[in-house]
Chains A and B, each alone.
Chain A
Amino acid sequence: DTGVSQDPRHKITKRGQNVTFRCDPISEHNRLYWYRQTLGQGPEFLTYFQNEAQLEKSRLLSDRFSAERPKGSFSTLEIQRTEQGDSAMYLCASRPQGAGDTQYFGPGTRLTVL
């Protein structure tokens, strides 16, 4: 499978715990995005990487959230001190270099905070 993969697919955690999600983009794609999707809503942009550089962060990304892409390949999204309001689907997408190319989404990680 050469698509975007995410791990884990589901995560249940207790409030206050830290969680980390991983995204593996399509191998030749240098641009990587994280989105959050809550029930009944469309995805909302969280952050963007070009290679290893994090170039844009949404105001939705509070200081409890941190994302990395250390070698410009896979990326991790960590949420510290989780809150019930963090419960959502976290989607990763990747895109190759060049204008006009679209984003390819992974299956998402569904987070439930109890």
Chain B
Amino acid sequence: GEDVEQSLFLSVREGDSSVINCTYTDSSSTYLYWYKQEPGAGLQLLTYIFSNMDMKQDQRLTVLLNKKDKHLSLRIADTQTGDSAIYFCAESMGGGYQKVTFGTGTKLQVIP
């Protein structure tokens, strides 16, 4: 079955870059997502990438996909205190009903 793994915690200084990593097992994954969850809030979609892409950039966010190694990363440039949250990697196979499988989340702590 599908499995998505992430490291649990990352601490960075304000202004530095953050890199959050994720590995997944399902080679048929079509879409890979990054969601952000702030305390007490729902999930906010940050960005997603199709499996036929290697990279996607959106303002301060850069997503890199290594399909061979089934490795996904999210780079946040110039990390701000407002970026402190839990970041979830997720995947879906697309088509049909597109069930999304989430990782356990990486808690990002930004130190002022």
Contact = CB atoms under 8 A, between A and B. Distances in A.
Contact of B43 (A48, A50, A91, A99): A91
Contact of B100 (A50, A103, A106): A103
Interface stretch (B64-72, B75-83, B89-97): B89-97
B42 A42 contact: no
B31 A100 contact: yes
A12 to B, nearest CB: 15
Interface in B18-33: 31, 33
B104 to A, nearest CB: 5
B42 A50 contact: no
B42 A100 contact: no
Interface of A: 4, 31, 33, 40-45, 48, 50, 55-56, 91, 93, 95, 99-100, 102-108
Contact of A42 (B41, B50, B103): B103
Give the residue among B95, B102, B103 with the most A Cβ atoms within 10 A: B102
Nearest 5 CB-CB pairings of A with B: A42-B102, A105-B43, A107-B42, A105-B42, A48-B97
B99 A48 contact: yes
B101 interface: yes
A100 B103 CA distance: 20
Q: How large is the interface on B (under 10, 10 to 19, 20 to 34, 35 or more residues)?
A: 20 to 34
A93 B42 CA distance: 10
Given A100-B94, A102-B48, A105-B42, A56 B102 contact: no
Interface of B: 4, 31, 33, 35, 41-45, 48, 50, 88, 90, 94-95, 97-105
23 contacts: A31-B97, A33-B99, A41-B105, A42-B4, A42-B88, A42-B103, A42-B104, A43-B88, A43-B102, A44-B102, A45-B99, A45-B100, A45-B101, A93-B43, A99-B94, A99-B98, A102-B45, A102-B48, A103-B98, A105-B35, A105-B42, A105-B45, A107-B41
A45 B93 CA distance: 14
Contacts of A4: 42
Nearest to B100: A103
